[in-house]
Structure 1
């Protein structure tokens, strides 16, 4: 049985595979129990990933689906700033073998796995979104608010909220309503306030509240720097002392949309072979998942 795209909907769903896999791992292992096959291979993250993935595809009904992945911890960002993401805990041992397993499962759905050494999944998503959105709508499925910088007229960002099937769908308009920021200003916000999750500091002493106020008044980092003389003395001193780090932090926050990665849209056509998917589920001993796909 093949489930095919319709002529009415030609949208693309770009899946942040890392975000879904990590979310699935921690959501299913917090009690200490790890699902495993009879051979002892851990599968809890892959199992959870499939449930998140399938729910999103059914909810947003894309014609094409592509899944993007990080390809190791060394990227151009870690080369520019050695402390980038250096605060991250080591990957749990039970998760490590699931990186290859989940890509096999994604492949069984007929969905391309895309990644590029030296870049993050975000950069692959940004580049593909820029390419595909020239003539169709693009949805980005993630839990990472950094993706909000990619919003534009034909690109929406779906933020996964707590609980399966709970999504916040952002457009440039909803970002403006919620944060009073444009997608471009979202990058400047991160440059000013830094990012504790990715471990870059921004301007020490400037938090989100001050950064938002500055951007709303002066429009951009460049606008703020051009008006340093008008700033309160304390704020001015902080920015002047950290100008180099401000520019570096903004560069680290910027998702690249020009990396050398491509994926023919036809390769991501949502057209699943149910028998192939079920065979993969049986191989991984995923009891109960087969009924998901009818």
Structure 2
């Protein structure tokens, strides 16, 4: 059992889901139709909002270490497994595209480590880093993605950003159980049956969240359900038997990889903002209103 003194003396790492924050910042600041730009016409609204979200989280959770993980684009291992994976995603807004690289430049200037690996998603990088670093630190994952709940452990917590400023729900094992009556690994099992409309894989056709939740709570895992097929109602059994291959593929697609080929030491992600470089970058991007949070 961890005591409060354990929590205060051990390192506390904030892993930031970069794209989740960037997209959230873009839409939160562009819904009125106004897009913040530099005098040269470079869109910066998402980067500006990203920095605000980041500093809000740092102020709230007080990490000793910070690292940002990113999707790098291109074909991923999941798209190779399933052609239609995320095929329903619209192209990003034109004003957001130049900010994908810009935000990483700003993060690097601030002295924060950027991580990403071609072929893998940010989720996989986050999972791999969280698992490795949790051996010597408490980890807090900042995201809006409920898929991350599968990563929760005694030392890994998931901060879900909700609507509104400074509105977070921090999941640990207890909160996850109280809210969903699920263990972390069962997030994968649940999505195996119900699929994911956002990521565009179907799970078992005709099985929604209510039935999926009932199956997982009763039989624990996909394999547990398959072992008990004969005891299921005929309608549910038929659906599963008809979509068994897609069920197993969906489980693979839903599983965050924990073995991405990257390394990240605690020393690389100490939270120590590089003030001079940050102020210089903020000046360049005409972020005068943010300089006060750095000084």
| TM-score scaled by length of structure 2 | 0.96
Does the CA-based 8 Å contact 2:43-2:99 persist in structure 1? yes
Deviations 1:189-248 (A, max 9, x none): 000000000000000000010011111111111110000000000000000000000000
Matches within 5 A, 1:205-284: 205-284=206-285
Q: Using the alignment, how far apart are the partners of 1:186 and 1:264 within structure 2?
A: 28
What are the residue-to-residue correspondences of 1:177-216 with 2, within 5 Å? 177-216=178-217
CA contact (8 A) 1:9 1:62 kept: no
- Equivalent residues of 2:11, 2:136 under 8 A apart: no
Q: Mapping of 1:139-150 within 5 angstroms?
A: 139-150=140-151
C-alpha displacement of 1:9: 4.9
- Please tell me whether the aligned partners of residues 74 and 118 of structure 2 are also in contact (alpha carbons under 8 angstroms): no
Question: What is the CA–CA distance in structure 2 between the aligned matches of 1:46 and 1:74, rounded to whole Å?
Answer: 25
Q: 2:67 is paired with a residue of what secondary structure?
A: strand
| Structure 1 segments of 4+ aligned residues over 6 angstroms from their partners | none
Matched residue, 1:4:
none
Cα distance in structure 2, aligned partners of 1:74 and 1:163: 33
Q: How does 1:53-68 map to 2 (within 5 A)?
A: 53-68=54-69
Q: Residue 16 of structure 1 contacts residue 140 of structure 1 at CA under 8 Å; is this kept in 2?
A: yes
Give the 5 Å matches for 1:169-180: 169-180=170-181
Unaligned runs of 5+ in 2: 1-7
Contact 1:29–1:44, Cα closer than 8 Å, also in 2? yes
SS in 1 for 2:97: coil
Partner deviation per Cα, 1:232-269 (whole Å, 9 max, x = no partner): 00000000000000000010000000110112221111
Secondary structure of the residue that 1:32 maps to in structure 2? Answer: coil
1:71-110 paired onto structure 2 within 5 Å: 71-110=72-111
Higher relative contact order (CA 8 A, sep 6+): 1
Q: Which runs of 5+ in 1 are unaligned?
A: 1-6
The superposition leaves residues 21-60 of structure 1 with CA deviations (integer Å, 9 ceiling, x where unpaired) of: 0000111111111110000000000000000001001111
CA offset at residue 273 of structure 1?
Answer: 2.3
The TM-score normalised by the length of structure 1 is: 0.96
When the two chains are superposed, the root-mean-square deviation of aligned CA atoms in Å is 1.0
Q: Secondary structure at the match of 1:54?
A: helix
Cα distance in structure 2, aligned partners of 1:167 and 1:278: 28
CA contact (8 A) 1:160 1:166 kept: yes
Q: CA deviation at 1:275?
A: 2.2
Contact 2:10-2:136 at 8 Å conserved across structures: no
SS of the equivalent of 1:288 reads: helix
Q: State the 1:293 CA deviation.
A: 2.5
> How far apart, CA to CA, are the structure 1 residues paired with 2:208 and 2:21?
28
Q: CA–CA distance in 1 between the matches of 2:134 and 2:176?
A: 19
- The answer to whether 1:154 aligns with 2:155 is yes
